[in-house]
Amino acid sequence: MNIKKGDNVLVLTGKDAGRKGKVLRVLPKANKVVVEGLNKVKKHQKPSRTVPQGGIINIEAPLNASNVMLICSKCNRPTRVGKAVLETERARKCKKCGEILD
């Protein structure tokens, strides 16, 4: 996956299209990401010791990783991710400005 935890992304499709947010979790086996404050869904929570009140809560649901695009920190634009080979390791780089993202 080209997206990591802590990256800033732009949502391309769906009800939150055009909004930006920070990646909270990455689910590589499912090819999904959870973005802070986006794709909110309502969950019915049964009362328990941790949540004695129970009720309906809003949580962030996972988005497909193909529906988000990484935002470069240098040029501040959504970009595709390329691979750069450094001395002994590979790194991600911005396709628009060439900045190393890792």
**Sign, Cα dihedral of 73, 66, 10, 27:** negative
Residue 78 half-sphere exposure toward CB, CA atoms < 13 A: 11
- Do residues 63 and 94 both lie within one domain? no
pLDDT of residue 8: 96
pLDDT digits (tens, 9 = 90+) for 33-87: 999 999 999 999 999 998 899 899 999 999 999 999 999 989 999 999 999 998 8
**Sign, Cα dihedral of 11, 36, 38, 60:** positive
- Do residues 42 and 86 both lie within one domain? no
CATH number at residue 43: 2.30.30.30
- Do residues 66 and 16 both lie within one domain? yes
Query: Vertex 83, ends 81 and 88: CA angle to 5°?
Result: 145
